[in-house]
Amino acid sequence: MFKKYDIIVVGAGHAGCEAAAAAARMGSSVLLITMSMTNMAQMSCNPSMGGIAKGQIVREIDALGGLSGIVTDHTMIQFRMLNRSKGPAMWSPRAQSDRMRFSEKWRELLESIPNLDFWQDLVTGIRCNEGKVVGVFTALRMEIDADALILTNGTFLNGTIHIGEKTFSGGRIGESSAFHLTENLNELGFEHARMKTGTPVRVDGRSIDFSRLEEQKGDEQPGKFSYTDTPPLLRQRSCYVAYTDPDVHDVLRKGFDKSPLFTGRIKGRGPRYCPSIEDKIERFSHRDRHQLFVEPEGWNTAEYYLNGFSSSLPEDIQYEALRKIKGFEHARIFRPGYAIEYDYFPPVQLLPTLETKIVERLYFAGQINGTTGYEEAAAQGLMAGINAHLKLHKGNEFVLKRSEAYIGVLIDDLVTKGVDEPYRMFTSRAEFRILLRQDNADFRLTPKGFDLGLISKERNEQVLHKQEQIDEVVKWMKGESVSPEQINPHLETIKSAPISQKIKIFQILLRPEVSLQGLLEVLPNASSKIRSFGISDKESLEKMEILVKYETYIIKEQEMADKLTKFEDLVLKDDFDYQQLTSISFEAREKLSRIKPRTIGQASRIPGVSPADISVLIVYISR
């Protein structure tokens, strides 16, 4: 019934969809096997994409030719650029999505890819021969052949759902969990562990009194995630802000003796930065209120997601506590909150390509690697799809450096440091934040996406051309002066010190209180000159302003990144015998032997390997 495929992808979550799309668009024949074709790219938790550091990841996925940004643009109902008051390294786009349309759009895009096939089934085992993948076994007793396999099982492996004292098996509420695969992977030599996550109640919007909540509108000029010509967002839905109070906390506390979290029934580690409401009132008992975001689930539904109220307390306690919140006195709920425990595979068992070290041509991507979040999952899926295709057809690999992309930071952290709690991306994890901005993801990555065959020639040329235009304008601003008569009235209105003699536009723009937009309004000549370079769109003007204002920092970070690259270029062989290096610590020898870093750079980031150990290694390999 089935032909032999180049690649099988297991699971159509965010990781699986990106993996299947990338590998098939690069030219592999791909079969995407998933338990439910109606739940593809489900947003298991909040209906939103992006946010701090995650927004940068979605932009990077798009710049490389992935599809998450395009799907988000087509399905968003609100857009906000977070952290605008901070420096541009911190600006992070976030969109509220229509949950149902998000899933539908993904399916539509996937079905438009010619060499991508689909099969609804449960994969129960991996077929291997001489340490290499040869296919899968499924619950429908199929044996399907493939040269490579990408596992993206999310929260489904032996998933257990908890609501109060009730415990039942499931990968998400209403969906069954995936059995046998963990045990099969254990037999092949893989280690696994347990993690936990949770989700809040979904509320019937018809029963909420919005007049008692604070409205949170989207940006007046909403942006987008994709660099392609996706449609602009013309109308938006509002979110709302609500607060818990001591009465709400008292009701929640009544359920603590039945909480699977506090009674010890949940063993897996949960996401520290996304705790349940019971966790928050226990850990921060001095705080008498917590902020909640009331987020619409789509254009045409009354369902609302109550961000910040995640809970696994009994459903009657969740309901009673909800009704104590201002604006929710008469609230009805569609679904209760719950917690879920699932198996994950510590990612130090992976190479930087996301291929496993134990079984060749087997790749893991997404939550199976101990991460949390759609964006982190999608990024890994894209990279696994690319690398599985390259391994089969070109024999090379695609690994991003920490100085090139958040995706590089993510995967390097996973395979080098491992995880002991659900890993989510933060800007603080990246040492080159000013280089890895959301505005320049296309300059950083689109040429790479083109080399991979995921970006069209035309799109790549447009990006290169834009980069040239922007560089030209910045150069022009460094050479062009303005006189006191031209600029002082404007400087006065924005309370900036007047100038006494001619000064370069570039110098003026370095002042924090001066904006490029403001300058162009009072300098019509400069405005028409910039237009003559072919630049008029808001995004390019923003890019230019950032390049001017942060030039010194950008140069400094680039120099540091270049220095680090030297270490990244010092390659360590896979079969290097670290035990022979008796002058480095026992811990370093043990960890280096286990993790088998690819480069001196990666070795230096392994916890427990000291700078002194690295010096010895450098001396040794330099010989």
Ligand X SMILES: Cc1cc2nc3c(=O)[nH]c(=O)nc-3n(C[C@H](O)[C@H](O)[C@H](O)COP(=O)(O)OP(=O)(O)OC[C@H]3O[C@@H](n4cnc5c(N)ncnc54)[C@H](O)[C@@H]3O)c2cc1C
Contact residues: ligand X, CB under 6 A? 10-16, 33-36, 39, 44-45, 122-123, 152-156, 171-172, 178, 181, 197-199, 274, 340, 366-367, 372-374, 377
Q: What is the DSSP string of 276-300?
A: -HHHHHHHTTT-S--EEEEEE--TT
- 340 or 445: CB nearest ligand X: 340
CA distance 186 to 345: 10
Give the nearest distance from C-beta 15 to ligand X in angstroms.
4
Instruction: Please report where in the chains the tokens 């074709």 appear, as a residue.
Output: 37
Give the nearest distance from C-beta 51 to ligand X in angstroms.
9
Give the nearest distance from C-beta 378 to ligand X in angstroms.
7
Sign of CA dihedral 539, 540, 544, 547: positive
580: left (phi > 0), else alpha (psi -120 to 50), else beta?
Answer: alpha
- 61 or 516: CB nearest ligand X: 61
- Residue partners of 72: CB distance under 8 A and separation at least 6: 49, 50, 58, 95, 97, 102, 225, 226
CA distance 66 to 62: 5
- Residue partners of 180: CB distance under 8 A and separation at least 6: 124, 125
Give the nearest distance from C-beta 233 to ligand X in angstroms.
23
Give the nearest distance from C-beta 101 to ligand X in angstroms.
17
Give the nearest distance from C-beta 337 to ligand X in angstroms.
9
Q: In this structure, what DSSP letter does residue 247 have?
A: H
Give the nearest distance from C-beta 11 to ligand X in angstroms.
2
Structure token digits, residue 340:
């879920």
Q: In this structure, what DSSP letter does residue 230 have?
A: P
CA distance 18 to 385: 7
Structure token digits, residue 397:
């690999």
Question: H helices within 480-575, ranges in order?
Answer: 484-493, 505-509, 516-522, 524-532, 538-549, 551-568
SS3 496: coil
Give the nearest distance from C-beta 66 to ligand X in angstroms.
13
Give the nearest distance from C-beta 84 to ligand X in angstroms.
22
Q: Which residue from 147, 521, 208 is spatially nearest to 334, judged by alpha carbons?
A: 208
- 96 or 540: CB nearest ligand X: 96
- 64 or 477: CB nearest ligand X: 64
CA distance 418 to 608: 13
Single-letter amino acid, residue 288:
D
